Amino acid sequence: MDSALKVIAVIALYVFPIALCETTGETFVCPEVGGNGNYADPATCRRFYQCVDNFPYLNRCPAGLYFDDVNKLCTFKNEARCGPLPTTEAPSTENPIDLAQKCDTSQCTLPYCFCSRDGTIIPGGLDPKETPQMILLTFDGALNQNNYDHYQKVFSHNKKNPNGCLIKGTFFISHEYCDYNMVQEFAHRGHEIGVETVSLQKGLHDKGYEEWVAEMIGMREILVNFANLTKSDIVGMRAPFLKPGRNTQYEVIEDYGFVYDSSIGIPPSRVPIWPYSLDYKIPHECKSGTCPTKSFKGTWEVPLNAHYVATYEGGHCPYLDQCVLHSHDANEVFEWLREDFERYYSQNRAPYMMPFHTNWFQIKELEDGLHKFIDWANKQPDVWFVTTTQMLTWMTDPKTTKDLSGFEPWMCDKPEQLPAPPCNLPNKCPLSFKHPETNISGTRYLSTCKECPRKYPWLGDSKGTGVAGADVYSPENRKK
């Protein structure tokens, strides 16, 4: 489709959304505030509504899957929490005097600060033609047998960047069911490890400082204790369900020496938004309603632009597995990804983030379509698959495509700089565990090259000592 036609298609969709989609007799009303996203169908867990600009599109989960109203996606029956679940939005308690100011480009300069009026400007004022198109493959949640081979395959066949070094991705790890031997393996291959949280608890966005420390710093400690990483390997974090913890989460980021957050979703935008530092006000609408409002100097935000195509087929989504592409074949999935990607590649070359949960890889057509896309993108000029930290390093010191062959932060990993390889025969520690929220008991098998802990590590007990509240964390960077 040429671009004039695309514009017409988009306009037509806004005016006549009903013509393009499945509708039902019942009326579902999209929530007025933040009315974009997926919502449980009150009638059945097999279906959900996708609200796009307040119009509800009825969607079905693929055969055998059910809509989980916590993660807002289709998943296996035993994991799905049927909705609609009540939502609680805490009233804002911000002091309006502390609010971050609008971007002031005369005060905000690289390498410490980056912002632009509408968020779409390339750092260093580079021309899009001379800007590398970075792709960030990110994977959320526990690494384990269900996804390890699938994730390996994404990086298989020694796919290389233009400088001849292997392509890289970023993993935001959560604890339950995680295999730390596998985490160590990915870290050893030069992929980036960040934290999600220990427990993926619901409603964390409205909790306090101590809860965020326990979840984020606890997760980092567990990785240090059981995947043999060092604290300085772990510099990024992602809030569960893309619900950032208002200012509280960013205070923890600042106090405990994290470099970036990647939790803020952006509504569909004609031109994608570049990452920015949080020195100034966020340059776009806050989709979750729980973004930070104060200034956090030098803390970077790597936001999640919405994925969509001009026809809105499949809807729009921050995580790719939340768009409705199950019914498509691999070629259609590939074409969809390619159109979505072209919005970046042909415009301002903002980093193209591809965020995934395991779900995507449970459906063969989606997985095959992704492989086709990666193989295709890997052949396009000036396309680089980098970790989130590599991307940020480029942003602080933007180099044109001509100057990248010797760009040090993107060079091949030197073995001595990588985390140690995992052992050949990890301990598979069987640990009984009673989930503190559900009180359901079971056994968790924790794989690690380290000694088995006495108890399953959890909030407040990252070493698994068996003493609840054994952990004492203290801020490393407190600015006072």
Contact between 439 and ligand NAG per CB under 6 A: yes
Q: By CB under 6 A, how many residues form the interface with ligand NAG?
A: 7
Residues 81, 272: Cα–Cα separation, whole Å: 33
- Closer CB to ligand NAG, 78 or 417, in the complex: 417
In the block, residue with structure tokens 């960077």: 477
- Closer CB to ligand NAG, 93 or 417, in the complex: 417
Q: Beta strands 169-173 and 427-434: pairing type?
A: unpaired
CB-side neighbour CA atoms (13 Å) of 432: 3
Nearest partner of 316 among 365, 267, 356, judged by Cα: 267
Q: Do you find a cis peptide bond into 453, omega within 30 degrees of 0?
A: no
- Amino acid identity, position 457: P
Nearest-approach distance from CB 225 to ligand NAG, in angstroms = 11
**Applying CB under 6 A, which of residues 38, 138, 147, 228 lies at the interface with ligand NAG?**
228
- Closer CB to ligand NAG, 412 or 423, in the complex: 423
73 DSSP β-pair partners: 68
- Closer CB to ligand NAG, 221 or 321, in the complex: 221
- Closer CB to ligand NAG, 226 or 334, in the complex: 226
- Per-residue tokens: 370: 């992704």
Residues 231, 477: Cα–Cα separation, whole Å: 14
Contact between 116 and ligand NAG per CB under 6 A: no
Q: What is the DSSP letter of 265?
A: B
Contact between 223 and ligand NAG per CB under 6 A: no
**Applying CB under 6 A, which of residues 39, 449, 456, 458 lies at the interface with ligand NAG?**
449
Beta carbons within 8 Å of 370's beta carbon, 6+ residues apart:
154, 333, 337, 354, 360
Residues 345, 459: Cα–Cα separation, whole Å: 42
3-class DSSP state of 361: helix
- Per-residue tokens: 131: 């800007």
Nearest-approach distance from CB 423 to ligand NAG, in angstroms = 6
- Closer CB to ligand NAG, 197 or 228, in the complex: 228
3-class DSSP state of 66: strand
**Applying CB under 6 A, which of residues 446, 450, 456, 461 lies at the interface with ligand NAG?**
450
Contact between 168 and ligand NAG per CB under 6 A: no
- Closer CB to ligand NAG, 56 or 419, in the complex: 419
Nearest-approach distance from CB 132 to ligand NAG, in angstroms = 31
- Closer CB to ligand NAG, 170 or 427, in the complex: 427
Nearest-approach distance from CB 418 to ligand NAG, in angstroms = 9
- Amino acid identity, position 33: V
- Closer CB to ligand NAG, 158 or 439, in the complex: 439
Nearest partner of 461 among 218, 228, 287, judged by Cα: 218
- Closer CB to ligand NAG, 232 or 438, in the complex: 438
Nearest-approach distance from CB 462 to ligand NAG, in angstroms = 17
**Applying CB under 6 A, which of residues 88, 438, 441, 474 lies at the interface with ligand NAG?**
438
**Applying CB under 6 A, which of residues 420, 467, 468, 470 lies at the interface with ligand NAG?**
420
Q: Would you give the distance in Å from CA 12 to the centre of its chain?
A: 31
Query: What is the greatest pairwise CA distance in the chain?
Result: 65
Interface characters, 178-217, with ligand NAG (x: CB under 6 A) = ----------------------------------------
Q: Are 250 and 263 in contact (CB under 8 A)?
A: no
Residues 322, 316: Cα–Cα separation, whole Å: 8
Contact between 423 and ligand NAG per CB under 6 A: yes
State the residues that interact with ligand NAG by CB under 6 A.
228, 420, 423, 438-439, 449-450
